[in-house]
Structure 1
Amino acid sequence: MNSVNAPTVDFKEQLMQLPSGSRAAAKYLAPYELPPSALIDLARHSRIRLCNRGNQISITGRSGFVHILLEGCVAERNTEGAAVRLWRNRTAFGDSGLLESLFSSNLGSRPKLYGEFLSTGRTLCIRKERLRALALNDASVALLLARIGMERANVVERLYVANRKPTLARVASLLDYLADSHVGLRHRVDSEDGRTVVRPVRNTAIDGPTQLDIADALTLGRATVEKALAQLRKDKALVDFSPGERTNRYYEIADRHLLQQIARGA
């Protein structure tokens, strides 16, 4: 047997020996590019949790679990129910902040927050103590958690920290960030050299947050957000539905490139 191919065969065999729930977890963990041994260990102790709109997960509670959001849109809410932040996939939720809770026992007092699913979604669920043990024994798992934590901090800095960007740019930035939570597929019909050509088009939509959720997350007034959304539809960055078709929780992007230009303040 070719020694170069042996590790791949071993990995596939180990993968097939996992329970079906762990194999599903491995599928979702694959894009994180973990070494095969770390991927198997993490998947073995993880499960996929299916969530419906309205389901809640702990953020600063003592559930003992860490959730990595795989699909869907989650509102991080305070005790009054206001949306503090909105999150898409590749976000981790745990006890009082992922890395601090994993490696420190002295967390101090923190505001009580919880996550609410604004759409259907999936999380990768793993016990915090098990994840701590894996991270302490495997540097690649610790690095994965550090990457997720850094991505979260960058999103907070870019979207939710007060800045001088125009309101329209801030709303566009949030929609552009959330757009990767749900991606659909449609077709465009073009005329090319006298022929009709049908091409698949990646069509992105945000499903879940209300205008009030967006307003609370960006610390803006609801009327201000409504005006910004109307302008984005007028500019053809968002699809402008016919009367009666548009819902308060659904924002379909007509031109992602244009939306990103507006987000940059162009």
Structure 2
Amino acid sequence: MAQLSDESRPRRSGVEVRLARYFGILGVGAEAAAALAAGSFLHRTPAGRVRFTGRHSYVDIIIDGVVLEADRLWAGEHWVGEIDVFRETPHPYARTWVDYLCTTFTIRISREVLRSWAVRDLTVQRMLFQVLTDRQGVMNIVYGLDHRSTLARVAQLLDYLTHTPASLGEAGLGFRSGASLLGPTQKHLADALGLSLTSVEKSMNLLRKHEILASSGEGRAHRTYSIKQPQLLEAVAAGHSLAAA
């Protein structure tokens, strides 16, 4: 087949170029990255509940926002939806409720495009394996049961939810200004960590006292938080102690 000249090739939009760059940063080969980008688009999902089933034709990759899925809070680069693309016929009973806790921006990618390239391109297979590995890493680091204090666990969750993954920034897709969090209430934080609401409130108040965290709203229904000292928040997550009130 004759090769198209550069002048004859269809021009890609700026968004498609950034999406291809993003998949390339995730380790996907150039040809596959371009195909995945062509099968994707940027999507804005309003706050609300969505039921994902095995028959959904797409997967959402979170760019900015927070979702509640399987009793856990998830943020940047979490893949929402069924990523077992190797199953020819989706499981008819597979379904998951996902709560988009705020307006969430995602990369929405066709499962069929993802599957067609995964079955023939090793780099796409490796990307999907890494997605699952990273998800397990969040489960272990953020939600794993260990001997850290409640304060450290709350700080770790806040740090995860407000962190913009480097790959999104490198691809020109990370548009959040500053370390901020919108969506979850303190009860969401407590439930996700398996902690009492009172203990989470005490930790949040301590972070505010030391001017690490600022939040708007009153009472337990805070939904907007701003991290004033991200590096100190990371230190607290790693075990750095703060003087009590």
Match of 2:213 among 210, 218, 238: 238
Q: Structure 2 matches for 1:37-186, cutoff 5 A?
A: 37-56=31-50, 58=52, 61-77=54-70, 84-95=71-82, 98=83, 101-104=84-87, 113-181=96-164, 184-185=176-177
Residue 240 of structure 1: how far off its partner (Å): 6.3
Residue 62 of structure 1: how far off its partner (Å): 3.5
Q: Which residue is equivalent to 2:237?
A: 263
Match of 2:185 among 210, 215, 218: 210
Deviations 1:174-223 (A, max 9, x none): 000011258754xxxxxxxxxxxxxxxxx311111111110110011112
Q: 1:111 to 1:126 in 2, by over 3 A?
A: closer
Q: 1:13 to 1:172 in 2, by over 3 A?
A: farther
Output the CA distance in 1 between the equivalents of 2:158 and 2:129: 25
Output the CA distance in 1 between the equivalents of 2:195 and 2:29: 43
Is the contact made by 1:24 and 1:48 (CA closer than 8 Å) also made in structure 2? no
CA RMSD of aligned residues (A): 3.3
Output the CA distance in 2 between the equivalents of 1:113 and 1:134: 25
Q: Which runs of 5+ in 1 are unaligned?
A: 1-8, 78-83, 186-202
Residue 18 of structure 1: how far off its partner (Å): 4.4
- Partner SS state of residue 90, structure 1: coil
Q: What percent of counterpart residues are identical?
A: 31
Deviations 1:212-256 (A, max 9, x none): 110110011112111110011112211366x86x97111111111
* Bigger Cα Rg: 1
Residue 87 of structure 1: how far off its partner (Å): 0.7
- Paired residues in the alignment total 227
More moved, 168-177 vs 20-29: 20-29
- Partner SS state of residue 70, structure 1: strand
Give me the TM-score of the superposition, normalised by structure 1: 0.73
Residue 262 of structure 1: how far off its partner (Å): 0.6
Q: 1:28 to 1:55 in 2, by over 3 A?
A: farther
Is the contact made by 1:67 and 1:93 (CA closer than 8 Å) also made in structure 2? yes
Residue 112 of structure 1: how far off its partner (Å): 5.1
Q: 2:220 matched to 1:227?
A: no
Q: 1:85 to 1:42 in 2, by over 3 A?
A: same
More moved, 116-125 vs 101-110: 101-110
Q: Which residue is equivalent to 1:193?
A: none
Residue 57 of structure 1: how far off its partner (Å): 5.4
Residue 29 of structure 1: how far off its partner (Å): 3.8
Is the contact made by 2:27 and 2:123 (CA closer than 8 Å) also made in structure 1? no
